[in-house]
A and B are shown apart, each in its own frame.
Chain A
Amino acid sequence: MKSTSQEYRELQHSIGMTVTLISFGMMFASLFLGYFLVRFNSPVWPPVEIAQLPKLLPLLSTVVIGLSSLTYYWFEMKKRSSKWLVLTLVLGLLFLGLQWSLWAKMKEVGILVSHGMVPSMVYAFSWLHAGHIVLGLFFLSWLLLRKMDQDLWVKNVGKFWHFLGIIWLMMYLMLFVQ
C-alpha cells in the first residue's frame, strides 16, 4: 500500500509533468499551425513541383513507434519486468534508424531541404521530433538503470514517451498521408 504522502508526491510530479507536456505540445502545435497556414494558402496540395515522398519508410516508423508505446504500456501495467522496457528501448532505436533511412532515401530521390516548403517541413519536423526521441531514449535508459521500481518515474517517463508517439502520428498524417 502506498502512504498518503507518497500518493501526494506522485500527484505533484504528475502535475509538473502535465505542465511540461503542455509546453512541449505548444512547441509542436506552433509547427502544425505553420503547416496549416502554408497548406491552406497554397493553390494545389501537395505542390506538384517536388518528387514523391517515400511512402513505406514513414509507415514503418509509425508502426514501430506505436508498438513501442504498446510495449511500454505492458511494462507499466502488466509485469513491470525489464524485458518490456528493453523492448521499448530497442523499438525506439529502430524508429530512429528508420527516420535516418527516411532522410537518406529522400536525399536519394532528390528531395533536399532547400526545395521549398514541403521538404523543409518534412525534414525540420522529423528532426525536431527525432531530437525529442533522443531525449526520450535517454530517459528510458535512465529508468532501466536506476528507477525501474519507482512508480513516479515510470509514470512520468511513460507520459513523455506516449506523447512523442502521438506527435509522430500527427506528423505522419499531415506530411505523408495528406
Chain B
Amino acid sequence: MAFVEQHIHDAPTSFWSKYIVSYDHKVIGKQFLWFGIFWLLVGGLMALLIRWTLAYPGVPFPVIGNLLFPHTDGVVPPDTYAMLFTMHGTIMIFFAITPILIGAFGNFCIPLMIGARDMIFPTLNMLSFWFSMASGVLLLASLCLPLGAAAGGWTSYPTLSTNIGQPGLGQTLWLLSLFLFGVSSTMGAVNYITTVITLRAPGMGYFKMPLTIWGLWLTAILNAIFVPVLGAGLLLLTFDRVFGTTFFLAGAAATSGKGDPVLFQHVFWIFGHPEVYILILPAWGIVSDLLSFFARKPAFGYKMTALSLSAITVLSTVVYGHHMYTTQMSPLMTQSFMTLTMLISIPSAIFFANWLGTLWKGSIRFHSPMLFSLGVVFVFGLGGLTGLYLASTSIDLYLHDTYFVVGHFHYTMAASVLLGGFAGTYFWFPKMFGRMMNEKLAKWHFWCTMIPLNGIFTGMMVVGYGGMHRRLYNPFIYEFLQKLVPINIFITVCAVLMGAAQFIFIYNFVHTIFFKKEVAPANPWEVGTLEWEIPSPAPHYNFKDIPHVKCGPHELGNPNLKNGRDFQYQTEEWVKA
C-alpha cells in the first residue's frame, strides 16, 4: 500500500479550540474519559440506591435520601425503583463503559499505537463526541420529567415501553437519546475501522498490531454493523409511541391493528448480543497486551489470540437467540442457538489459555495495571464459566431473569470491563496527562475494589440460584425468599464498600492531573510499543517522523538483546530469541 503524507497542523492555542472543539484524537479521548467517569458515578449512585432498597426495603436511604425522595421521607418509591434499574443499565452500558473503553481508549490508543498522527476523519471524531454529549443531555433531561424517566428495563421490551406501559415523555426521550448515541458511536466506528485499515505505519502489518488495537478494531466492526440494527428498532418504537404505528403493539396495548412485541426482542438482541462483545473486546485486547508487558514475556500465542478474538466476533453475531429461550421459540431454534452459543467457549478458552500461557514462568511485575489485568483474568474466568450454564436451554428456563443472570453478566460485562478500564487508565495515564498516578493508592484501590466486587456478584449468583428474580421492588414479600435477606444485606454492604473505594481512584485521578508537579518519564513501564517512544504526554503531532515498524509489539525478555534493556521497541530491528 502506498503511504500518504500526514501533515502536522499548528497546535491550537485558545482554550476553546484546544479543549472544547478539538480535532485532536488525544483530547477527544480525554473528553470521553471525563464524560464516562461522570456517568460512571451517576450509574454507581443508582446501583447503590437499588442495592439499598433490596437489602432494607422500606428504610430511608441514608444521608441523601430525604433530598432525593422528599415525598416518601427518603424511601425509594416502587416506580422510581423501576426507573433506577432501567437507568442504571442504560447509563452503565451506553454512557460509562462505551465512552471509557471505546471512546477514550479507542481514540487515544489507535493512532498512537499504529503510528499515525491522528484519526483519519478528525471532524467526524469531534462530531462523535458532541453527539454523545447531546444524547447524554437528553438522558439527563428525561430524569427531570414529571412522570419520570424510562422504567421498562434497559432492554425496553414492549409492552413495558409502549404508551400503555410507559405514559409520558421519559421513554421517548430515552429512545431518542440512545438513537443519537448510536449515531455517535457509529461515527466513531467508521473512523476507527478506516484508520486501522489505512493509517498503519509502514511495516505495521495486521499481525504486528498490539492486541489492544485488535480488540478495538473488532469492536468497531461489530459496532458499525450492529448498532444500526438497534437504531432501526428504536425508530420503530418511537414511531409506535409518537405517530401511532402498530409494530410492537398487541393485546390491550393496541387500540387497533395488531403487531408483535417479540419482534422488538429479535431486533434488540440481534444488536444486543454483539453489544456485549462490543463492550468486552477492548478490555480483552488491553488485558492481553498488559499481561505480556508486565510478565516481561512475549504474548503466548499472539496470532491465535488475535484469531480467536476474530472468531468470537463472528460467532457473536449468530447467538442472539439465547436471550429469548422463554419466548416460545421452537425447540429446533433453541437447540441451534444453544450449540452456537456453546461454540463461543472454544475461542474463549483458546485466548484464556493464552493469557495463562503468557503468565506462566514470567517475571511478573505487580504494578497497578498488572493487578487490574490479573483481576480481569479472574473475574472473566468466573463469569465465562457461569455463561455455560445459561447457554444451556434446559437450565436457562429455570434461571431466566433471576439474579443468577444478573450476577453472570455483571461478572463478564461489568466487572471485567471495569477492571480492564482501570488497568488501561493506570497504564496510559502517563502518556495521556504526563504524570504518574500514585502507585500505592492505585494498589489500595485495586484491593478495595476487587474484594467487595466478588462479594457483590458471587452473592448475586447465590441469591439467583435461590430463586430471587431481578427487577422486583421487594422480593421478600414472597415467603421462600425471606431467608435471602441476610445475604442481600451482605451484597449491599459490599456494594457500599466498593462504591467508597472508587473515591480513592477519583482522588488519585484528579490530584495527579491538577496538582502533581513531577513529570512522568517517556517510558515508565519499559514497553516497546510505538506510543512509548515519544515523550509523555504525547506531543500535539504524535510522531515527528512516522515510525517504521520492524518487529511485533511484545518483544520482551529476550536474552539475546544487547542494548541493556529486556525489551525492544517496535522500530528496532528484530533480534532472534
* Contacts A/B (CB < 8 Å), 22 sampled: A5-B5, A12-B120, A12-B199, A16-B194, A19-B189, A19-B193, A19-B224, A23-B186, A23-B225, A31-B232, A37-B266, A113-B246, A115-B256, A115-B257, A116-B258, A117-B247, A117-B258, A120-B246, A120-B257, A120-B259, A124-B235, A124-B239
Interface size class of A (residues with CB under 8 A): 35 or more
Q: Are A22 and B224 in contact (CB under 8 A)?
A: yes
Q: Is B244 an interface residue (CB 8 A)?
A: yes
Minimum CB–CB distance from B267 to chain A (whole Å) comes to 6
Q: Are A27 and B232 in contact (CB under 8 A)?
A: yes
Q: Is A24 an interface residue (CB 8 A)?
A: yes
Q: Is A150 an interface residue (CB 8 A)?
A: no
Q: Are B246 and A23 in contact (CB under 8 A)?
A: no
Interfacial residues of chain A within 102-130, with CB under 8 A of chain B in the complex: 112-117, 119-121, 123-124, 127-128
Q: Which residue of chain A has the shortest Cβ distance to B266 in the bound complex?
A: A37
Q: Are A34 and B190 in contact (CB under 8 A)?
A: no
Option from B2, B257, B266 in Cβ contact (under 8 Å) with A4: B2
Q: Which residue of chain A has the shortest Cβ distance to B1 in the bound complex?
A: A8
Interfacial residues of chain A within 5-60, with CB under 8 A of chain B in the complex: 5, 7-9, 11-12, 15-16, 19-20, 22-31, 33-34, 37-38, 41
Interface size on B, residues (CB 8 A): 43
Given contacts A26-B228, A30-B228, A38-B263, contact A114 B193 (CB under 8 A): no
Given contacts A19-B194, A117-B258, A124-B239, contact A34 B224 (CB under 8 A): no
Q: How far is the CA of A25 from the CA of B232 in the complex (A)?
A: 11
B-side interface mostly: helix
Option from B1, B224, B256, B257 in Cβ contact (under 8 Å) with A23: B224
Q: Are A26 and B263 in contact (CB under 8 A)?
A: no
Question: What 5 A-B pairs have minimum CB-CB distances, sorted nearest first?
Answer: A116-B257, A27-B228, A120-B245, A30-B232, A26-B228
CB neighbours of A15 from chain B (8 A): 193-194, 197-198
Interfacial residues of chain B within 181-206, with CB under 8 A of chain A in the complex: 186, 189-191, 193-194, 197-199
CB neighbours of A30 from chain B (8 A): 228-229, 232-233, 267, 270
Q: Are B120 and A34 in contact (CB under 8 A)?
A: no
CB neighbours of B227 from chain A (8 A): 23
Q: Are B225 and A26 in contact (CB under 8 A)?
A: yes
CB neighbours of A128 from chain B (8 A): 235
CB neighbours of B534 from chain A (8 A): none
- Contact mask B119-132 → A, CB, 8 Å, 1/0? 01100000000000
CB neighbours of A41 from chain B (8 A): 260
CB neighbours of A20 from chain B (8 A): 186, 190
Q: Which residues of B contact A (CB under 8 A)?
A: 1-5, 120-121, 186, 189-191, 193-194, 197-199, 224-229, 231-233, 235-236, 239, 243-247, 255-260, 263, 266-267, 270
Q: Are B2 and A12 in contact (CB under 8 A)?
A: no
Given contacts A15-B197, A30-B267, A115-B257, contact A24 B245 (CB under 8 A): no
Minimum CB–CB distance from A140 to chain B (whole Å) comes to 20
CB neighbours of B1 from chain A (8 A): 8
Q: Are B194 and A123 in contact (CB under 8 A)?
A: no
Q: How far is the CA of A113 from the CA of B502 in the complex (A)?
A: 50
Q: Are B120 and A16 in contact (CB under 8 A)?
A: yes
Q: How far is the CA of A128 from the CA of B1 in the complex (A)?
A: 38
Q: How far is the CA of A38 from the CA of B245 in the complex (A)?
A: 15
Q: How far is the CA of A68 from the CA of B186 in the complex (A)?
A: 28
Q: How far is the CA of A11 from the CA of B120 in the complex (A)?
A: 12
Q: Which of B186, B225, B232 has the most CB of A within 10 A?
A: B232
Minimum CB–CB distance from A127 to chain B (whole Å) comes to 8
Q: Are A38 and B193 in contact (CB under 8 A)?
A: no
Q: How far is the CA of A124 from the CA of B5 in the complex (A)?
A: 45
Minimum CB–CB distance from B131 to chain A (whole Å) comes to 14
CB neighbours of B225 from chain A (8 A): 22-23, 26
Q: How far is the CA of A23 from the CA of B220 in the complex (A)?
A: 11
CB neighbours of B245 from chain A (8 A): 113-114, 120, 123-124
Option from A25, A29, A114 in Cβ contact (under 8 Å) with B246: A114
Q: Are B263 and A37 in contact (CB under 8 A)?
A: yes
Minimum CB–CB distance from B316 to chain A (whole Å) comes to 15
Minimum CB–CB distance from B403 to chain A (whole Å) comes to 31
Q: Which residue of chain B has the shortest Cβ distance to A24 in the bound complex?
A: B228
Q: How far is the CA of A16 from the CA of B189 in the complex (A)?
A: 10
In the complex, given contacts A115-B246, A115-B256, A117-B259, what are 5 additional A-B residue pairs having Cβ atoms less than 8 angstroms apart? A22-B224, A33-B267, A114-B244, A123-B243, A127-B239
Option from A4, A29, A34 in Cβ contact (under 8 Å) with B247: A34
Q: Are A120 and B247 in contact (CB under 8 A)?
A: yes
Option from B197, B236, B256 in Cβ contact (under 8 Å) with A124: B236
Q: How far is the CA of A24 from the CA of B227 in the complex (A)?
A: 10
Option from A11, A27, A37 in Cβ contact (under 8 Å) with B229: A27
Minimum CB–CB distance from B565 to chain A (whole Å) comes to 36
Q: How far is the CA of A113 from the CA of B247 in the complex (A)?
A: 10
CB neighbours of B193 from chain A (8 A): 15, 19
Q: Are A34 and B243 in contact (CB under 8 A)?
A: no
Q: Are B190 and A19 in contact (CB under 8 A)?
A: yes
